[in-house]
Structure 1
Amino acid sequence: AYDLRALEQILPDGSHVPIDFGQDQTPVTLETATLKEWLNSMDACRDSRMIIHLITPLRLRKQGKYLGDFELEFFLCCVARRLEALNCIFNNDKPIGKDVWSALKRRFRGSEDTKSNVKWVDFGRYSSRQRAHILLGGLVGSVEMSEIDSLHQRWLRAASIVHVGKGAAMGLGKIVITNGKTGR
């Protein structure tokens, strides 16, 4: 049995604020922050080197097949697609459109030098509904990048807030971004 004693909200500046529940058990002190505020509150990587740590299996599907290696351009497109979907669902916003997608893809193309240290790991679970064992494998490990510009850094930081790829709703696709030199 669990006993819930308190809830806290983490704000973009990193501070923790207790969530106060009123008499009718609804939160009364929630502050909201936009994704832009979160991204602006994070320190930029000064040496333009970053490491992406794939914490839970990353499942990126391209042309009907799962990728066996990390592709930065495709990963960033998946991040944009995930953020677009969340924005449409939670902000009742419209999709960004073909012209914006084309411009984003052009911006994501780049000469970022990446050194990939990832491997495919298979996990599984039993689905009672399907009465079958379901594979949930994906890429785990790390990808080191050098010469990454501020635009790409912002998209990577956004990816560290939301899970990316197939199975994101089940906890797959969690990444952590660290500075290439200091590890933070």
Structure 2
Amino acid sequence: MHTEPFYLSYIPLLIRLQCCESVQLPPYLGSTLHGVVGWKLSEHSPEAYRYLFENRRYGGGKQDIVNPYILEVPRSRRVYQQGDVLDFRILLIGDALRYVGDVVGALTQDAWFELGAQRKKFRMMDIIQADQLEPIWRLGTLHMDGAIPERLTAWQQEEAMRCSIHFLTPLRIRRGGVLIRELDFPTIIRNITRRVEALAERYGGYVNPDAAATVNELSGDVKQTSSGLFWYDLKRYSNRRNTKMDLSGLLGAMTFEGDLTIFAPWLHAARVLHIGRNVTFGCGQVEVGLY
């Protein structure tokens, strides 16, 4: 008997790289890091690569098959000097946890990363369980006992009447095949409930459909108090696809007020799982404050 509105298992991997020679990188590294990780997996662990990066083949080639991993990219920074640290995160979700050893092994098999148009070298420093700060790989030694899964579920939240949501990376939500440029609270809640439902159904977990329906019904009662959203144009070249990728979307912040307590677990899930499209390129990352 499940009492919580949902639960999912995931593991957050923090990958830390040290710059070996000065380099100027693109301002947004989602496409760059996605490509490097994909290449390393395809070379050293084809099975993990197929499961994570070619997941749509398992769903009949449908375009909107939800993927079992998320990429979190560094904040905008162009220049890295020798000795600087570049870190990013990979989250493996549900059934994808069985590939954590393959992912760690592929990323550390050759502990060098070549980034940017000039393919400047970065050295792997370590891989850490990002929430518990347990080392999984450090100085050439594997510590798989540090690969501890997390459980995403409802968390204790005192009464909340105000909320701020900060969109850290481009938010891309399509409606009728077109990327939306205006956002409201019901759209945010609808997007995260659908995302949690899709991940749980495909990769293991649980969602109470009545709980999801309830928060969607009540979301219209929440009042928007401010919006500082703006459209961010972002196009990056993909070597793997041999074409330019459009990763444009909404950035900025919004605030809301009302009885928000019931929404707290779902907003927390949005912080972990991102929302919108192209989360495997780092898009849709949000920060939430409840007061």
Do they fold alike, i.e. is TM over 0.5? yes
Check 1:73–1:16 CA distance in 2 against 1; reply closer, same or farther (3 A cut). Answer: same
1:142 to 253, 259, 262: 253
Normalized per residue, which structure has more strand?
2
Q: Does 1:164 align with 2:275?
A: yes
Check 1:106–1:3 CA distance in 2 against 1; reply closer, same or farther (3 A cut). Answer: same
TM-score (norm 2): 0.50
C-alpha contact 2:163 2:260 (8 A) present in aligned 1: no
2:202 to 89, 93, 99: 89
Q: Does 1:35 align with 2:152?
A: yes
C-alpha contact 1:60 1:75 (8 A) present in aligned 2: no
C-alpha contact 1:69 1:119 (8 A) present in aligned 2: no
Structure-1 separation of matches of 2:259 and 2:233? 30
Query: Relative contact order: is structure 1 or structure 2 higher (C-alpha 8 Å, sep ≥ 6)?
Result: 1
1:8 matched to which residue of 2? 128
TM-score (norm 1): 0.74
Structure-1 separation of matches of 2:264 and 2:225? 14
Check 1:19–1:128 CA distance in 2 against 1; reply closer, same or farther (3 A cut). Answer: closer
Structure-2 separation of matches of 1:104 and 1:179? 16
Shift in Å, 1:134: 2.5
Secondary structure at the aligned position of 2:134 is classed as: strand
1:108 matched to which residue of 2? 219
2:181 to 64, 68, 77: 68
Identify unmatched segments of 5+ residues in structure 2: 1-111, 113-121
2:134 matched to which residue of 1? 17
Check 1:7–1:50 CA distance in 2 against 1; reply closer, same or farther (3 A cut). Answer: same
Q: Deviations over 1:101-132 (max 9, x none)?
A: 65453233323334211011110012345543
Structure-2 separation of matches of 1:129 and 1:5? 26
Secondary structure at the aligned position of 1:156 is classed as: helix
Instruction: Name the amino acid aligned to 1:16.
Output: L
Normalized per residue, which structure has more helix?
2
1:124 matched to which residue of 2? 235
1:173 matched to which residue of 2? 284
Structure-2 separation of matches of 1:85 and 1:47? 27
Q: Percent identity?
A: 23
Q: Deviations over 1:74-97 (max 9, x none)?
A: 111111111122223331x58877
Structure-2 separation of matches of 1:4 and 1:126? 25
Check 1:101–1:16 CA distance in 2 against 1; reply closer, same or farther (3 A cut). Answer: closer
C-alpha contact 1:50 1:148 (8 A) present in aligned 2: no
Structure-2 separation of matches of 1:125 and 1:171? 13
Identify unmatched segments of 5+ residues in structure 1: none
Structure-2 separation of matches of 1:46 and 1:104? 16
Check 1:102–1:83 CA distance in 2 against 1; reply closer, same or farther (3 A cut). Answer: closer
